[in-house]
Structures are given as C-alpha cells and as structure tokens.
Amino acid sequence: MILAVGLAAVNSIFISRAFRQSTTVSPESAAQLGSFVGGYVGAFFALTGVVLLFSTLKNQRLASALQDFETKYFELIKMHRDNVAEIKIQRASGRRVFVLLLRELRFALKTIRGIAGTHNQQLTKREILHVAYYCLFFGVGTNSSRMLKMSLSTFNAAFIDAVEAELDKGKMNKEIRSNLGYVPFEGHQSHLGHYYRHLYQMIRYVDEQAINIDKYEYAKTIRAQLSTHEQALLLVNSLTPIGRNWWTKNLIVNYRLVQNIPREFFDSSTELDTSEEFKPGYFEWEETLSSTAVV
C-alpha cells in the first residue's frame, strides 16, 4: 500500500500544466523537478539516516550493557548458591545451618537477658540483640573473646566479661550441644562474614546500575534465593553496627529483602518487634492478612 500510494503521489504531480506539453510530460520540467526533489528530499533522508544510525548504535550499546550486566548478575547468583551449599557445621550444611544459627542466637539472647538483669543493665531489645549477634558472630575463646570485647567496648565492661564467661561455660552445656549438634559460641565469622559480604555485593551491583532496568525485579530474584531463616538472620545482622549499610543505603527497605519473614517469627516482647523497624505494609503476611480481612 505504501508503494502504491507513493507511486501514485509521484506520478500525480505530472497532471499539473506546469509539467506538461499538451498531452505529454515535459522532460525539462520533470528533470528540474527531479533535481529539486533529489536535493531537498535527499538531504532530509540523509539526516534521517544519520539519526536512525545513531539510534541503532545507541540501542546496540544499551543491549550490550544489559547483556554484560545480566551475565555478571547470574554469575553472582550462582556464586551465592555455591556459598550457601559450602557452609557446613558438623553434620549440618547449606540452608539448614541458618536454622541452627538462629537457634544458637536465641540461646545467647536468653543468657544475655539474664546477665543484664543481674548487672542492672537497662538495655533495649535492640541492644541485647546487638550483643547476642556479636557473640554469635565472634564467639568466645582465646582470640574470639578479644575481638568480641573490642567490638562491644561501648557496653559496660563488667557486663561483657560476665557474658563472655557465661557463654564459655555454655560450650559444655549438654542440652545446648544436643539441641544444636555442635559446640556453641565458638563464632561463625568465617561463614557469615563471607556470606554477607557477597550478598551485599550482589544487591549493591543491582542498585548501582546506571542502565534502565527494573532494579526491584532483579533484587526480588536475589531475595527469592533466601530462605526464611536467612532473611531473619539478615535482618538481625542489619540492625547491628556491622551491617548498618543495609539501612544507610536503604537496601533493606527499597528492595524489601526481608519481607517474607512470617508474623511473630521473632518474639516481639523479648527478641525483636518488627513493627518498630518497618512501616505498615512491608511484610508479605500483611498482604495476606489484608486480603483475608476484605473477604
């Protein structure tokens, strides 16, 4: 249709008297018209060609940048899966380890709350969680206790000494060891340090992209790799100084990295009240609760 209309438009010009000699087309007039159209329209099409070439090159560059981004992105996800699979504590490995780590964290929380009471330490739930996570991360022992005490130097020294001594005794607690399947409070920074550095690198890689992508969708794919217990421990990590960048860079909130933590996963009275950390509507369970209420 374009070809037919174009040919009709071109030939209809010659109906005009200016281009005719009685019943035939004037060669001279047609030649002049051809020269004019070739010069005028040709310049327009040449300019259009330059614009289209620029657009094509730009699209190719963007496509190449997207391909490079996705290649590294999926490599990072694969590395994350490998990292999780390689985490081992005694007979436990992979995601099962995070279940045990949270269990160990809760043992530490219970111990620290008791010691805080006997030492008249008026600590908030966040501060107790801070101390407990550092005990989980660094552990207690010859070298571990030194790093632990240095990292918790803002707290009362006598209180931290008592925590360190009590957790050291806890290593021999048969009930705790039976519940975990390994010796507790020996520290897990060799596992968690590497794990969280790589996870942070993945999210920041998406967040810092200058190309036009749906960053939330890519971050959501990363979040889908995290089990409930991984998300829970990530939240605890982020609420301590060692993981503050998760909040200062707005990664936890913008990409809803821990939205799949179930309601009352944490004891709000003794462990962590998530409603104090997030605005309403953040968690997945709130959407389910809202839809149920409507029905």
Query: Taking 70 as the threshold, does the pLDDT of residue 145 lie above it?
Result: yes
Q: How crowded is residue 251: how many other Cβ atoms within 10 Å of its Cβ?
A: 19
pLDDT winner (highest mean) among 33-37, 48-52, 231-235, 290-294: 231-235
Asked if 119 contacts 159 with a C-beta cutoff of 8 angstroms, the reply is yes
Beta bridge partners of 24: 21
Side chain identity, residue 94: G
Q: Cα torsion for 173, 175, 177, 180, to the nearest 10°?
A: -140
pLDDT at 248: 97
Q: Has this prediction a pTM greater than 0.75?
A: yes
Residue (of 76, 107, 96, 73) closest to 191 by Cα position = 96
Tell me the Cα Rg of the chain: 34
% of residues, the chain, pLDDT over 90: 75
pLDDT at 30: 63
The answer, yes or no, to whether residue 218 has pLDDT greater than 70, is yes
The answer to whether the CB of 236 falls within 8 A of the CB of 108 is: no
> Measured between alpha carbons, how far is 163 from 114 in angstroms, rounded to an integer?
10
